Structure 1
Amino acid sequence: MIAPTVGMTAFPHDPTPLQTRRLGIDAEDTVFFHQFAFPGLATFPMLPATSVRIGTDPDGLPIGVQVIADLYADRTAIAAARTAHELSWSDR
């Protein structure tokens, strides 16, 4: 399965504790902790996953996705991520 890594592109480092950290997404103030929903797709059912950069946003920040595989199929996740990377960067 291919899913977002998080709900937005990269953002500046913020040392604020997770419980109180806020994040602006599309000019809306949001709770940072909500960003853990996407990684939870793999971590809650304990599935192997890896993330891969597939592009760049208009500000030059990386856009990534996570590749989630079946239980114990770690190599499948890595191989699919490698293919996604090669396809997304093949014309550059």
Structure 2
Amino acid sequence: AAKGLQGTTIRGISESTPPSNYAKDVLGPAFTKATGIKVEFEATSWDQMYDKAIKDMEANTGIYDFVYIEQDIIYSYLARNFL
């Protein structure tokens, strides 16, 4: 499925939690090894993650290809057509 995408970089941001740190430190590198697609995964505080993700979506800059979204705020993202 990754044929032709080797060398591509995808960027994401998440709250720094044990699961997201595992994704950053273990799953991201494994994904890169398997596909050749580089993963830049920023793990930060929830406040900074939310602020950066919302600002990126509001400005439509496309800095992040994926963001962490908690289930209790998913509808606010949907209401603003961010998903």
State the TM-score, normalizing by the size of structure 1.
0.25
Of Structure 1 and Structure 2, the greater helix share is in 2
Choose between structure 1 and 2 for higher RCO, CA contacts under 8 A separated by at least 6 residues: 2
TM-score in terms of structure 2 length: 0.26
Name the larger-Rg structure. Answer: 1
